[in-house]
Amino acid sequence: MKSSRPKPPLSARKPARPRFQVPHSKDPVQVYCRVRPVQSPSDISCMNVISPTTILITPPESSTNFRSTTKEIQTVFTKVFTPDISQQEIFSDVALPLVENLIASKNALLFTYGVTGSGKTFTMTGENGNSGIMPRCLDVLFNSISSYQAKKFVFKPDPFNSFEVQSETDAMLDRQSELHAGLTTPRPQKTKYRRQDSDTDSNPPLPRSPDESHSLPVDEDSVYAVFISYVEIYNNSVYDLLDEEEPKGKTLQSKILREDGNKNMYVHMVTQIEVKSSEDAFEAFRRGQRKRRVAHTALNAESSRSHSVFTIRLVQGPLDSQGENVVDDKRLISISQLSLVDLAGSERTNRTKNTGQRLREAGNINNSLMTLRSCLEILRENQTSGSNKIVPYRDSKLTHLFKNYFDGEGRVRMIVCVNPRSDDYDETIQVMKFAEMTQEVQVARPTVPKIELGFTPGRRQANKIFKEARSRLENMGRPEAANIDLDLGLVYSLGGPFPPLEVNNPHQDEIITTLMRFLEHRIARRNLLSSDLETKQNDFRKMLHGLEQENMTFKVENASLKAANCQQKKKLTTLEEHVYKTESQIDSLLRKLNTANETITKLQVELKDKDVCLNQRLIEKQKVKQRFNTKMQQETDKMNKELEIKLRQQRLRMQSQTKATEDRLRLVKKILDDDGNIIAPVEMEREERIPETVSGKIAAADGRSRRDKVPVSNLRHRRSQSADRWVDHRPGALVPIGTVLQPLMRRRRSISKLTDPKEITDGASKYCLIAQEQDTDGELETKLYKGDIVPTSGGGAQVVFNDVECLKQMSPTARRKRSGVNGDERTTEENGDSKRPRVFN
């Protein structure tokens, strides 16, 4: 970058020192500039891109140095990205060559620098649906090595910033342990990580879809593993953002910086996660991003309060001579890393209005950036003037961590993000000065010492093709193919090109010594290859002789197989003719079978129709039967109603007759009382009833006089008491009669309900039914219906009622009131009994 500011005259300059000749093995730091779009229409831009590499800056009137500096300033960069440039173009120009270096086992450093709110984090990380440099680096890396990745835990990091090669057994045990831990340990919830000195808990997640359109060539005879780490430098302390073992609710523990055996600086005991895809890596980045410290300031709603360093480490290991497993030699492992640094923004306190903790954070940020600038200035001065000043890398953890890039070797690139607003002019000028000075720093070009193992190139692909061929042979029925071993042998090459042979003076013995060693190695290599070639020729002759013998054997077998084949053909012809005849017979049988099936189908249809007709007849018959039963039921109900009406009329006539008789008796009694006759204390009446039949079961019954005290014999039904057996039918709801006089039944069986005809026909010849009701005067009247049990011709029995006894209970108190004319009236009996039943046989 060059400045257009006027330089002092030659006489006013200090005498120039002889410039140090920078060797061709060093490259300058490449600085790119990205201009952020103007956010508000009211903002005034102070920048103008006049060429792909030059920016013209015009100082505004609001600048503090406007009076002293009123001229325009031109600043030259490696390349200038205008506001309309996409993220993909920036990645292709800046970061894609660094990914190529990473795959080529070379280290690289990329960091973004600028004022707060100039778009550094957006350039490095991106936003929703628009990925930045870091996600695109991961996509290209995994697109390139996706088919050549080693199994997990084959490469294992050690505490000294290096890696070890594990056997397949140990790697499998580690994978099983990780799987078991994942199944038994509950997955941590994605909660916001509270930091005691952070204003925001976490950044929002960045959903993205991986870009699979770009890939880079890789060495097919090597295996690769990717490890990532994510740290932040906050208040000049280093914190591990991927540490999952930190105590909940507590701040992260500060890490220390150390130097490994190759003079490379690293964070001691930092978490290195092996990832197998860009999605896994970006998910780990999001977990760490939630722990990063950001805060709200007057210039930026989410201002980074720390420097973040996302490191991608690529581990490469060569395959063995068979192209299957990694060579178990730690010295052959190649480790390269790409560090992506998002620096916190430089800011002024009077503009950000920071106080308290924010003010302390801004002071530490500015101090670390000033230390970075001071280190680069001293480094540039040492390179240009040949001085040997001490570079103060240890004054800041940021410069101390990247010391090996500037003092050692690697490729360093920087993206300067600027905001074209005139309000940021004073801060932007300081950023431009730093960028101008950074471009003058030289960094050693990385070199990769490659050890030649003498293995055949393309052995992985050869092993794959060999296995496929052996598998095909086994599937073809050649089991001996499983015992064939792959022998790729040595590479038939005598080595690399000859070393430089130009001798400028007679004292350059090193060139001769180097040439002698090279020739000795070349002769030894040639002898080795000659012996190997002779061995292979002998083996080939033996194999050719064996193949010739095997060929002769195969010829004899082929002739015998041909003779057998002719016989088999004849047999096949005979069998074909027999099969043809059999198929003809089968066709005829099938036709007959189809005809029989059609006949069966027709018969089934006819049978079904007949079944339908039969069912219809049965239904009609059932309907006729139902109509007949309904009509019979109606006739039966009609006859029963008529019979009930006749019985009711007959009962009413009998009751009227009985009432008339009772009235006459009362009149006679009254007449007798008036004449002074004594009334009997208890009277029993015997009524004569007209014989009747109830439902064809009731026979005629004779009546008796109620005033007779001696039972009247019924000569027609008189039998011997010793021969008769009674069925005494007493319903359960009877009212006790209240007297000792009971019907005389010597041999009887008492029942309360008739449920079975056998209860009548089982050896009984007499039947007595007791019924109770009230008479017209409201007195309790007990009637005993007696009859003979007569067997029927159908095997049953019928009861012919031939006698009825009526026992009526009357109250003497009521009778005293009716006949209370004379004062010397008295009750009929002293014990209060109103009725005394009489016993009849």
Residue-wise pLDDT tens digits, 238-278: 999 998 876 555 667 889 999 988 888 999 999 999 999 99
d(CA 786, CA 728): 10
pLDDT, residue 303, reads 52
pLDDT, residue 696, reads 36
pLDDT, residue 491, reads 60
* 676-691 confidence digits (pLDDT tens): 443 333 333 333 333 3
433 and 515 within one domain: no
- Domain of 342: which CATH number? 3.40.850.10
Higher pLDDT, 720 or 705: 720
Identify whether the C-beta of residue 368 lies closer than 8 Å to the C-beta of residue 396. Answer: yes
| Residue 757 pLDDT greater than 80, yes or no | no
pLDDT, residue 301, reads 40
Least confident stretch, 247-256, 555-564, 665-674:
247-256
Query: Looking at the domain assignment, is residue 746 inside a domain?
Result: no
Query: Looking at the domain assignment, is residue 86 inside a domain?
Result: yes
Residue-by-residue DSSP string for 336-395: EEEEEEEPPPB--HHHHT--THHHHHHHHHHHHHHHHHHHHHHHHHHHHH---PPP-GGG
Query: Looking at the domain assignment, is residue 728 inside a domain?
Result: no
Quote the distance between the C-alpha of residue 606 and its chain's center.
60
* Residues in Cβ contact with 828 at an 8 Å cutoff, skipping those fewer than 6 apart: 679, 680, 681, 682, 812
Tokens of 19: 């410039």
Domain that holds residue 797: 759-773+780-807
Average pLDDT of 644-650?
A: 93
Q: pLDDT exceeding 70 applies to what percent of the chain?
A: 74
| Residue 434 pLDDT greater than 50, yes or no | yes
Cα three-residue angle 146-148-153, rounded to 5 degrees: 95
Residue-by-residue DSSP string for 392-448: -GGGSHHHHHTHHHHHSB-EEEEEEEE--BGGGHHHHHHHHHHHHHHTT-EEEPP--
pLDDT, residue 702, reads 37
d(CA 165, CA 322): 18
pTM higher than the cut 0.85: no
Identify whether the C-beta of residue 107 lies closer than 8 Å to the C-beta of residue 101. Answer: yes
d(CA 407, CA 264): 10
Residue with tokens 């069986």: 749
* 220-239 confidence digits (pLDDT tens): 889 999 999 999 998 889 99
Of 584, 613, 631, the residue at which a domain comes to its end is 631
d(CA 703, CA 711): 11
Tokens of 327: 């060579």
List the one residue out of 95, 87, 96, 85 whose CA is nearest residue 123. 87
Query: Looking at the domain assignment, is residue 66 inside a domain?
Result: no
pLDDT, residue 305, reads 67
| Residue 785 pLDDT greater than 80, yes or no | yes
Of 596, 631, 666, the residue at which a domain comes to its end is 631
Of 574, 597, 631, the residue at which a domain comes to its end is 631
List the one residue out of 2, 25, 13, 6 whose CA is nearest residue 444. 25
d(CA 804, CA 698): 11
Higher pLDDT, 35 or 757: 35
462 and 434 within one domain: no
pLDDT, residue 410, reads 85
Query: Looking at the domain assignment, is residue 229 inside a domain?
Result: yes
Phi, psi of 129 (to 5 degrees): 75, 0
96-103 and 133-145 helices, crossing angle to 10°: 40
| Residue 190 pLDDT greater than 70, yes or no | no
Least confident stretch, 65-69, 362-366, 390-394, 539-543:
65-69
| Residue 161 pLDDT greater than 60, yes or no | yes
Higher pLDDT, 378 or 827: 378
* 80-130 confidence digits (pLDDT tens): 999 999 999 999 999 999 999 999 999 999 999 998 888 899 999 988 888
Query: Looking at the domain assignment, is residue 837 inside a domain?
Result: no
Confidence of residue 29 (pLDDT cuts 50, 70, 90): very high
| Residue 830 pLDDT greater than 60, yes or no | no
| Residue 567 pLDDT greater than 70, yes or no | yes
549 and 531 within one domain: yes
Q: What is the DSSP secondary structure assignment for residue 703, as one 8-state letter?
A: -
150 and 95 within one domain: yes
pLDDT, residue 464, reads 81
Distances (CA, A) of 526 to 48, 475, 824: 65, 41, 173
| Residue 212 pLDDT greater than 70, yes or no | yes
Point out the annotated binding site: 114-121
User: What's the chain's average pLDDT?
Assistant: 78
Point out the annotated binding site for ATP: 114-121
Tokens of 502: 């130009």
pLDDT, residue 66, reads 53
Q: Where are the beta strands (DSSP E) in 12-144?
A: 26-28, 30-35, 47-51, 54-57, 73-76, 79-81, 108-114, 126-127, 130-131
pLDDT, residue 64, reads 62
Q: pLDDT exceeding 90 applies to what percent of the chain?
A: 33
469 and 321 within one domain: no
Least confident stretch, 436-440, 506-510, 534-538, 813-817:
813-817
474 and 433 within one domain: no
358 and 231 within one domain: yes
Least confident stretch, 292-296, 587-591, 612-616:
292-296
538 and 622 within one domain: yes
355 and 295 within one domain: yes
pLDDT, residue 716, reads 42
pLDDT, residue 457, reads 74
d(CA 113, CA 33): 10
Phi, psi of 368 (to 5 degrees): -65, -40
- Domain of 788: which CATH number? 2.60.40.4330
119 and 253 within one domain: yes
Query: Looking at the domain assignment, is residue 46 inside a domain?
Result: no
Domain total of the chain: 4
Q: What is the DSSP secondary structure assignment for residue 794, as one 8-state letter?
A: T
pLDDT, residue 815, reads 52
* Strand 222-234 with 307-318, pairing: antiparallel
217 and 123 within one domain: yes
Confidence of residue 143 (pLDDT cuts 50, 70, 90): very high
Higher pLDDT, 567 or 698: 567
365 and 264 within one domain: yes
Query: Looking at the domain assignment, is residue 652 inside a domain?
Result: no
